[in-house]
Amino acid sequence: MSDPLLSIRDLVTQFDTADGTVRAVDGVSYDVYPGETVGVVGESGSGKSVTVMSVLGLIPEPPGRIADGQVLLEGRDLLTLSDAEFRDVRGKDIAMIFQDPMTSLNPVLTVGSQIAEAIEVHRSHLSDDAIRKRVIELLELVGVPNADDRFDQYPHEYSGGMRQRAMIAMAIANEPKILIADEPTTALDVTIQAQVLNVLQTAQDETNAGTILITHDLGVIAEMADRVVVMYGGRVVETGTVDEIFHSPKHPYTLGLLSSLPRPDADLERLEPIPGQPPSLINLPSGCAFHPRCRMGNDRQRCRFETPERIDLDAGRSTACHYYEEMDAEIQRVQDATGAEISTEDEDA
Amino acid sequence: MTDPTPRHDTSTSDPEEPPPGGVLAESDEQVAAYSDGSEIAARSQWQLFRRKFFRHKLAMGSLVYLAIVVVAAINAETVAPYAYDDINVVMRGTAPTFEEMHFFGTDQLGRDYFSRVLFGARTSLSVAWIVAVVVGVIGTTVGAIAGFYRGWVDAALMRMTDLVIIFPALAVLLVFAALFGQGRPTRIGIILGLLLWPTLARIVRGVFLSLREKEFVQAARACGAGDLRIMFRHMIPNTIGPIVVNMTLVMAAAIIIEATLAFLGFGVNPPTPALGRLMDEGRSSMQTQWWLIVMPGMALVSIALAVNFIGDGLRDALDPTQQEK
Amino acid sequence: MLNYALRRFLISIPIIVVATFLIFWAISLTGDPLQDLRQQPNITTEQIERVRENRGLDEPFYVQYAVWVQQIPTGGFGEYLLSPRPIAPDLQRVVIHTLQLVIAAEVLAFIVAVALGTLSATRQYSVFDYSTTTLSFIGYSMPSFWFALILQVIVVQIFELTGVRLLPLANLSSPNPGTGLAFVWDRALHLVLPVMSLAIFSVASYSRYMRASMLEVVGSDYIRTARAKGLKEGTITRRHAMRNALIPTVTVAALSFGTLLSGAIVVETVFGLDGMGRYFIQMLGRRDPYPIMGWLVITSVVVLMFNLIADLVYGYLDPRIRYD
């Protein structure tokens, strides 16, 4: 493959809390190549959102702090930039679409002016008319009807799906190199979700941006992503292509995610959900953070005390499990137990 | 964004069992380093409250200060170096000095100003205390009834609070104080209490309205608990926080209003000293005898400030959304 | 909009009626309003009897009240109890004076408070934030008459030390205020100390609200969106945060207008200003219910007017609000 567009290297982001320092992101690395979509999956608290907020320099300090690592955009480390230089990158080279379109737009400003602002701040030489024309183009591109009238409306006059379209228009306004979408459809009605994903696909095709798509919905991943990063307890536990992740997971957590999906071809009782709760970052389990919930580890000493490092299996394929070689047997066991094929893609769509 | 706030999770129940022997030999260190992520100490509401309040330095300092002032005021007869009406013509208009213990100086008649201020503070504090009791009883009762039963009590309460918005409160207070209030501190206190309770009632009403729909109240009702039992056992305890915080605000306000009434000539009757009247009397010679207004003013401000700081500390400590720093 | 204003006003009429009735009743409970008159040696018994008859003082108090209410639409606020002078001209004069004082204080307090609250919130936990917080607590805990007295002492002490007559200490105008701009300037100078004394409590109170709502706004999602666009912090505060944070602050400021009128009672007394507050205290001393009731009616109308203005501002700030 060519050089990565964005490369996150050993990123560590901490938060100071009353009960001590929390490592919300602990040594996370992954790459994004031009034009591809990287899906990031994980439960809440897995650090997937904090990672991208760190990339955008939007971690509130204090209590947050990026303690270590690099974020390389075309080879340039963003974490060494001054505030002013970072502002130039935000919204221009890297743009973000947030989870909740209901609260992500300023209620007292018109939608059009908020998109226009995104263009204006990075291209001050454009005239107001030119900017307005561009905003209307963008609104049309993301499928907002009557864009000319809609420009002057306020967010409360937009529906949830329309607002998310507007957010996408805002994000692609400057044709960013990297587009980050943080749970872009979670807050929307199921019927609207597919439409918005289509718009997102269109937007990406239009800009050829490398995209990071954060979601806990494996269906969205199967639909949209080229490669997948699985996160747990602030760490990356597995990476691979969509096929690899869905057909032959190399980490028991990934397998757990897959086998806890309800599917039409299996009884509900035969689901095998991951036992227990997502870990609390304040008191992460020692060793492998997943070990208290792992069906495969059997409480082995190594899992309890030794933190598994990333093991590279292939280019872009890695796992962080001491016993990943046992995964084939484990997959077999789960398939026998639930009676369903892990890994056929249509079941997730 | 992922919420970085730690989860206080105590649900995992596995007792910590000794790690079974395995491939790796265990050292003590390893045992000590082991964690399955389930041990987070549970803190009770009360512990959390105490911890947050004691950390609030201003509130703690204010509490100590106020305690000293209250004790001194209660025992004013023994604490004060002079009686508040002892006239000493020789010492007329003395500036604050340690000589003969005129810490706050003397007034135009040579009366010891420290003693007068202390007795004045006693008036302020007793008025504040009476106001708090009256407001607490009426406000909680009316608010509870309005929030629990709705109906005409609720409607009347809402109209009453509208009244407060439309008319300047001091004007209404002045009318009633002028007509009925002049006399002993008790009387002023009751008048103020009778006029200041609607705010508290409104707060209690609001909390009750939301508590009414809560599961534990529904559950108590389903168990056949009577209205009174539900109110006293289940709802009032959950309202204590806002009530206490509002009472501190009311007490601070009462102290200032009492002083203002006294300053305007509508407060307690002479000879009972009141801080407001001390300042009214001192006004004519304040340009040469600054202590006549500065000392009672400082006493007044420091007491009101202490009460407000305590209220702030209580509010912070009771607010579950407030992050500890 | 007009509809809305009218409705707000009509809703308030019963409240005003009930309140004036209660005041009238309370005053009638406290005994003979002519008591003071009787004690004056130069007034004959016949004069007192004439007043008693003219004002219907032998009637029950509710009849007296009804008489008073009936004459409001035609006769203004009637006459003083003890002298046949109309009340309205006096009320009009003092209302104009007090409005100058109170509006100046409200505007000043609002501007200062918005600035302090915003700076405090954007520099949370800084020295500036702690200082303003502490100062606002002191502002809360300080009776305005005391602050006014201290200001007077300071101005006089400055005069004694330097010989500079900084500001007038009392009254609304100099003996010969002049006309036109000279008059306005003279009035403005006379109002500096009263306005400061009156504004201090409001500054303390509004700045707390502004700080709290700024903190809430600053943590909201659309501020993060603005940041993700690459906007400067200053632009984010001005364009995105402040406008949202102003909405609750405007409401609080408008609802506190009555509090300012309360403060005016005290401040006008200290500075000897010929305004509503001092007038009120004088009438209260005379136990004359008629000017007091007129005062309450006027006050409530003024307060309602300002609430209405606040509603307009509110509608301008928040596009989600529509009146119909």
pLDDT in tens, C62-80: 888 887 787 777 767 777 8
Sign (positive or negative) of CA dihedral A18, B308, B173, C150: negative
3-state class of A60 per DSSP?
Answer: coil
CA-wise closest residue to B240 among B144, B142, B306: B144
Instruction: Clarify whether residues A173 and A295 are in a common domain.
Output: no
Instruction: Clarify whether residues A182 and A282 are in a common domain.
Output: no
Q: How confident is the model at residue B4 (pLDDT cuts 50, 70, 90)?
A: very low
- Chain C positions in Cβ-Cβ contact with residue B279 (cut-off 8 Å): 145-146, 149
Q: Reply yes or no on whether the pLDDT at B322 is more than 80.
A: no
CB contact under 8 A, C222 and A104: yes
Instruction: Clarify whether residues A80 and A116 are in a common domain.
Output: yes
**Which pairing describes strands A178-182 and A76-77: parallel, antiparallel, or unpaired?**
unpaired
pLDDT of residue C98: 93
CATH code (residue B120): 1.10.3720.10
CA distance C262 to chain A (A): 34
Helix ranges (H only) for chain B are: 28-33, 45-55, 57-74, 76-79, 113-149, 151-166, 169-176, 185-196, 198-212, 215-222, 227-229, 236-263, 275-282, 291-318
Among B170-179, B196-205, C95-104, the least confident range: B170-179
pLDDT of residue B302: 94
pLDDT of residue B30: 44
3-state DSSP helix/strand/coil % of chain A, to nearest 5: 40, 20, 40
Q: Which domain holds residue A303?
A: 230-348
3-state class of A210 per DSSP?
Answer: strand
How much is the mean pLDDT over chain B? 77
Is C231 at the interface with chain A, CB within 8 A?
A: yes
Question: Mean per-residue pLDDT for B276-288?
Answer: 85
Instruction: Clarify whether residues A219 and A238 are in a common domain.
Output: no
Sign (positive or negative) of CA dihedral A249, A251, A255, A260: negative
Is B11 at the interface with chain A, CB within 8 A?
A: yes
Among A278-282, C44-48, C196-200, the least confident range: C44-48
Q: Reply yes or no on whether the pLDDT at C3 is more than 90.
A: no
Instruction: Clarify whether residues A143 and A250 are in a common domain.
Output: no
The last residue of one of the domains, among A165, A200, A225, is: A225
Instruction: Clarify whether residues A173 and A43 are in a common domain.
Output: yes
CB contact under 8 A, B169 and C259: yes
CATH code (residue A312): 3.40.50.300
C113 token code pair: 């408070």
Q: CA angle at residue B103 from B100 to B107, to 5 degrees?
A: 90
CB contact under 8 A, C141 and B283: no
Across the interface, which of A56, A98, A114 has its CB nearest the CB of C221?
A98
CA-wise closest residue to C295 among C95, C123, C124: C95
> What's the one-letter identity of residue C306?
F
- Chain C positions in Cβ-Cβ contact with residue B171 (cut-off 8 Å): 261-262, 265, 280, 295-296, 299
Across the interface, which of A22, A276, A287 has its CB nearest the CB of B6?
A22
Selected residue with higher pLDDT from C2 and A24? A24
Across the interface, which of A24, A284, A299 has its CB nearest the CB of B37?
A284
Selected residue with higher pLDDT from A297 and B170? B170
Among A34-48, B124-138, C41-55, C253-267, the least confident range: C41-55
Q: How many interchain CB pairs under 8 A, B with C?
A: 129
Closest-CA residue in chain A for C225? A104
| 8 Å CB contact between C315 and C307 | no
Is B195 at the interface with chain C, CB within 8 A?
A: no
Is A326 at the interface with chain C, CB within 8 A?
A: no
Question: Side by side, which strands form the sheet with A6-17?
Answer: A20-32, A6-17, A64-73, A76-77
pLDDT of residue A277: 79
CB contact under 8 A, A301 and B24: yes
Which residues are A182's β-sheet partners? Answer: A214
Across the interface, which of C140, C143, C150 has its CB nearest the CB of B259?
C143
Q: How many interchain CB pairs under 8 A, A with C?
A: 72
CB contact under 8 A, C224 and A170: no
Q: Largest Cα–Cα distance of chain C, in whole Å? A: 85
Q: Reply yes or no on whether the pLDDT at B18 is more than 90.
A: no
Which residues are A65's β-sheet partners? Answer: A14
pLDDT of residue B324: 43
Question: Side by side, which strands form the sheet with A94-97?
Answer: A94-97, A178-182, A210-214, A37-41, A227-232, A235-241, A317-319, A311-314
How much is the mean pLDDT over chain A? 83
Q: How confident is the model at residue B260 (pLDDT cuts 50, 70, 90)?
A: very high
- Chain C positions in Cβ-Cβ contact with residue A88 (cut-off 8 Å): 230
CB contact under 8 A, C300 and B167: yes
pLDDT of residue B54: 67
| 8 Å CB contact between A68 and A152 | no
Is B322 at the interface with chain C, CB within 8 A?
A: no
In angstroms, the CA C306 to CA C313 distance is 11
| 8 Å CB contact between A57 and A267 | no
Question: Mean per-residue pLDDT for C27-56?
Answer: 70
Instruction: Clarify whether residues A96 and A173 are in a common domain.
Output: yes
Is A167 at the interface with chain C, CB within 8 A?
A: yes
Q: Which chains touch C (3 or more CB pairs under 8 A)?
A: A, B
Scanning A31-60 for CB atoms below 8 A from B yields: 44-50, 53
CA distance B315 to chain A (A): 19
Across the interface, which of A87, A105, A154 has its CB nearest the CB of C230?
A87
Instruction: Clarify whether residues A204 and A263 are in a common domain.
Output: no
What is the per-residue pLDDT across B218-259, written as a single tens digit (0 to 9) for each?
Answer: 888 788 777 888 888 778 887 888 888 888 889 999 999 999
Residues 6 or more apart whose Cβ sits within 8 Å of residue A236: A28, A29, A30, A229, A230, A310, A318, A320
**Which pairing describes strands A235-241 and A317-319: parallel, antiparallel, or unpaired?**
antiparallel
**Segment (H or E) for C258:** helix C257-271
> What's the one-letter identity of residue B268?
V
Name the stretches of chain A with pLDDT < 50: 344-349
CA-wise closest residue to B316 among B308, A259, B149: B308
What is the per-residue pLDDT across B52-75, written as a single tens digit (0 to 9) for each?
Answer: 776 678 888 899 999 999 998 888
Residue intervals in chain C for CATH 1.10.3720.10: 88-317
Instruction: Clarify whether residues A202 and A273 are in a common domain.
Output: no
Q: Reply yes or no on whether the pLDDT at B7 is more than 60.
A: no
CB contact under 8 A, C265 and B290: no
Q: How confident is the model at residue C40 (pLDDT cuts 50, 70, 90)?
A: low
What is the per-residue pLDDT across A123-145, written as a single tens digit (0 to 9) for each?
Answer: 888 888 889 999 998 898 888 88
> What's the one-letter identity of residue C82?
L
3-state class of A27 per DSSP?
Answer: strand
CB contact under 8 A, C150 and B180: no
CB contact under 8 A, B2 and A24: yes
A14 occurs within a structural domain: yes
The DSSP letter of residue A59 is -
Q: Is the pTM of this model over 0.90?
A: no
Q: Which chains touch B (3 or more CB pairs under 8 A)?
A: A, C
C53 token code pair: 């008859």
CB contact under 8 A, A91 and C232: no
CA-wise closest residue to C19 among C292, C277, C287, C302: C292
Question: Mean per-residue pLDDT for C72-93?
Answer: 80
Closest-CA residue in chain C for B282? C149
Q: How many interchain CB pairs under 8 A, A with B?
A: 82
Sign (positive or negative) of CA dihedral C173, C176, C180, C181: negative
In angstroms, the CA B105 to CA B292 distance is 8
Q: Which domain holds residue B153?
A: 45-70+77-318
CB contact under 8 A, C303 and B256: no
Instruction: Clarify whether residues A150 and A263 are in a common domain.
Output: no
Instruction: Clarify whether residues A58 and A201 are in a common domain.
Output: yes
pLDDT of residue A345: 42
Q: Reply yes or no on whether the pLDDT at B114 is more than 80.
A: yes
Among A125-134, B155-164, C237-246, the least confident range: B155-164
Is A231 at the interface with chain B, CB within 8 A?
A: no
Q: How confident is the model at residue B42 (pLDDT cuts 50, 70, 90)?
A: low
The last residue of one of the domains, among A159, A191, A225, is: A225
pLDDT of residue B300: 93
Q: Largest Cα–Cα distance of chain A, in whole Å? A: 67
pLDDT of residue A1: 52
Number of domains in chain B: 1
What is the per-residue pLDDT across C177-188, written as a single tens digit (0 to 9) for each?
Answer: 778 888 888 888
CA distance B47 to chain A (A): 15
CB contact under 8 A, B4 and A282: no
Residue B221: HSE in the Cβ half-sphere, 13 Å Cα cutoff:
12
- Specify the fold of C88-317: MetI-like fold (1.10.3720)
A1 occurs within a structural domain: no
Best mutation site among C225, C227, C249, C314 for testing chain A: the one with the most A CBs within 10 Å? C225
Q: What is the ipTM of this complex?
A: 0.83
Residue B177: HSE in the Cβ half-sphere, 13 Å Cα cutoff:
30
Question: Mean per-residue pLDDT for C26-35?
Answer: 68
pLDDT of residue B24: 39
Number of domains in chain A: 2
Q: How confident is the model at residue C108 (pLDDT cuts 50, 70, 90)?
A: very high
Is A173 at the interface with chain B, CB within 8 A?
A: no
What is the per-residue pLDDT across C204-239, written as a single tens digit (0 to 9) for each?
Answer: 999 988 998 998 898 888 999 999 988 888 889 988
In angstroms, the CA A122 to CA B250 distance is 53
Across the interface, which of B178, B260, B283 has its CB nearest the CB of C266?
B260
CB contact under 8 A, A107 and C225: no
Token pair 């024309």: residue? A133
In angstroms, the CA B265 to CA C23 distance is 20
φ, ψ at B316 (rounded to 5°): -60, -45
The last residue of one of the domains, among A163, A193, A225, is: A225
